[in-house]
Structure 1
Amino acid sequence: MSKAYILLGVLFGAAVVGLSSIYIVEEREKALVLQFGQIKAVKEAPGLSFKMPFIQNVVRYDDRIQALDTQPLEVTPLDDRRLVVDAFARWRISDVVRFRQAVGVGGIAQAETRMERILNAQLREVLGAVTSNAILSENRVELMNNIRDAAIVDARALGVEVIDVRIKRVELPAQNLAATFERMEAERQREAADERARGQEAAQRVRAQADRTAVELVSEAQREAEIIRGQADAERNGIYAEAYGRDQEFFNFYRSLSAYEQALQGQTSTMVMSPDSEFFDYFRSETGASGN
């Protein structure tokens, strides 16, 4: 019975030793085999591997692309117009040995802290060399590429590969927004006043031109009317002269009848004049002829 217990103990110990010497590396991982803190082996290919039991241990690192969102950072461009910048980066572990040496037991958390310092430094350096208009414009891809390229060089010391860097948000600090809005409003009011002044000036030119055109048209119409009126008067006088030359007595009689027609209109026409006035010559002649 004691031999059976001993055999079971030996088998159990062998199983424990065997299991402790085996480890599996997945496709999304990189692993380091450490012995008393020293790196003894690097396992980047997935599969089953072995190590010395008890005295060696395995440290695993995520081989997938990591995301890093930086805290809002205040930068000062060339025009001293302070801006708050919010950026993010995509990175992955490229050299697991150097990564372990750089961050120690801190792992991913320590790497993110140091990566954020690198990004903040590059954000200040690159964005501080241009104006705020270049940062706020839509064509800022070149600035982000410059930040990424500089971060790639600095991150190599961590055993990290920076894949991409992007600026998510750029805005003014809260304490500067009110002053900026007031300045923008003043600029828009000035532009509106300039537009109104130019519009009024153009309107005055149009009115002056219209008035001048109206005066010219009225003057031309009056001139033509006077010419036509003069021609009509001349033609009328010619007709009168011709009629007078043909029969003077009939002409005088016709003119007198026209005068009577114009003078004796309405139901209560009243005329006060001398009885021997020439106006009634034809009345008298008609009266004498009829005997009344």
Structure 2
Amino acid sequence: MKKYFITIVLLFAFLFMYFALFIVQEGQRGLVLRFGKVLRDKNNTPTIYQPGMHIKIPFIETVKHLDAKIQTMENQADRFVTMEKKDLIIDSYIKWKIIDFSRYYLATGGGDVSQGEVLLKRKFSDRLRSELGKLDVKGIVTDSRNRLMSDVRSALNNGTSGNEEEEILYNKKIFDNKIINSEYIPQEIEIHPNSMAALGIKVVDVRIKQINLPSEVSDAIYQRMRAEREAVARSHRSQGKEEAEKLRAAADYQVARILAEAKKQSLIIKGEADAETAKLYAFSFNADPEFYVFIRSLRAYENSFKGNQDLILIDSSNNFLRFMNNSNK
């Protein structure tokens, strides 16, 4: 009998330990619930368990495991309007973490991550839309993007819109390191109802991954860019033709000038040669006129009688054949 009693005691002890002991994994926090309500101490501070092994009251207390690591939420690309009333398709993501597990549990209806991301996405979309409405396209895609992300992150965490009085009134000490490390925001600190701190969340970082234009706007811009490039190409081609005509005209002018100069030189040389020839003829003629007349007559005979069949009718007393007349010595 005693043996059975010990067995039953050990069984109950095992069951008690089984239901009383629980382990919180690294990177998680355990939020204790008693009859479905968050367990708090006498200072109204939620009971939050750190990673390790802990004990709870079986069947009365339950533990909700919440992720304490930085999480990433990918946002679906959405359409936003800039200060210039131009549409942009922006793809972004958010880095966030839980800083008040009790608030987060209550705000998300039991610590549901998907519900928390829905609330976070809704506030982020509204805040990003508001901030983008203050900038033009050039400011969004250039150096102003970092400032834009910083403003959106600050506005999400503080729930304010950049008004200094609001920032002084709310969240002045929320993100102090001491409070963050405590994983609980004291009740005496007044929290803006539109801030992420009201959900027990802190936005660690906000980033824009990609900025695109809507398809209808992109097509129009591409067509305009193509028309501009074609206009530039036509301008370059016309300038090239103009330069080609200038070079061609200059080359034709150089050719004409060189040919004219060469013709001039050839005429001068020919004239000088003709003058020298005439001078030689005159010198020879003056030296022996009769011999010159004889030579000239022989050349005339040679040119007149080309073949054996040539026939010329001329008076025998004609002076042309005087050198062929036997009576003439």
Aligned residue for 2:73, secondary structure, equals strand
Aligned mates of 2:93, 2:290 — CA distance in 1: 118
Partner of 1:285: 323
In structure 2, the partner of 1:76 is 81
Query: Which of 117, 138, 141 lines up with 1:112 in the alignment?
Result: 117
Maintained 8 Å contact 1:90/1:163: yes
Q: Which amino acid aligns with 2:110?
A: V
Q: Does 1:183 align with 2:224?
A: yes
Find the residue that maps to 1:90 and give its secondary structure. strand
Task: Show the 5 A alignment for 1:137-216.
Answer: 140=142, 143-144=145-146, 146-148=148-150, 150-151=152-153, 153-155=155-157, 156-157=196-197, 158-216=199-257
> As a proportion of its length, which structure holds more helix?
1
Counterpart among 48, 62, 65 of residue 42 in structure 1: 48
User: For the aligned residues, what is the CA RMSD?
Assistant: 3.5
Q: TM-score, normalised by structure 1?
A: 0.78
Identity of aligned residues (%): 32
The one-letter amino acid of 2:14's match is A
Residue of structure 2 in register with 1:248 after alignment: 289
Tell me the number of residue pairs that the alignment of Structure 1 and Structure 2 aligns.
Answer: 283
Structure-2 residue corresponding to 1:29:
28
Is 1:99 aligned to 2:104, yes or no?
yes
Contact 1:95–1:159, Cα closer than 8 Å, also in 2: yes
How big is each residue's C-alpha offset from its partner over 1:113-147, in whole Å with a ceiling of 9 and x where there is no partner?
Answer: 122224323443444444435556xxx47515632
Question: Structure 2 vs 1, CA of residues 135 and 286 (structure 1 numbering), >3 Å: closer, same or farther?
Answer: farther
Unaligned runs of at least 5 residues, structure 2 = 41-46, 158-195
Match of 1:232 in 2: 273
Q: Aligned with 1:52: secondary structure?
A: coil
SS at 2:258's partner residue?
helix
User: Contact conserved, 1:118 with 1:151, CA < 8 A, in 2?
Assistant: no
CA distance in 1, matches of 2:112, 2:94: 18
Q: Are the equivalent residues in 2 in contact too, given 1:88–1:168 (CA < 8 A)? A: yes
- Runs (5+) with no aligned partner, structure 1: none
Task: Give me the whole-angstrom Cα distance separating, in 2, the residues matched to 1:289 and 1:256.
Answer: 17
- TM-score norm. by structure 2 comes to 0.70
Hey, what does 2:56 align to over in structure 1?
A: 51
- Please give the residue correspondences for 1:3-18 in structure 2 after superposition, counting only pairs within 5 Å: 9-18=8-17
Q: Determine the C-alpha separation between the residues in 2 that align with 1:207 and 1:246.
A: 57
Partners of 1:26 and 1:277 lie apart in 2 by: 151
Query: Which AA in structure 2 matches 1:33?
Result: V
The answer on whether the counterparts of 2:24 and 2:53 sit within 8 Å (CA) in structure 1 is: yes
Q: Give the Cα–Cα distance (whole angstroms) in 2 for the partners of residues 185 and 104 of structure 1.
A: 54
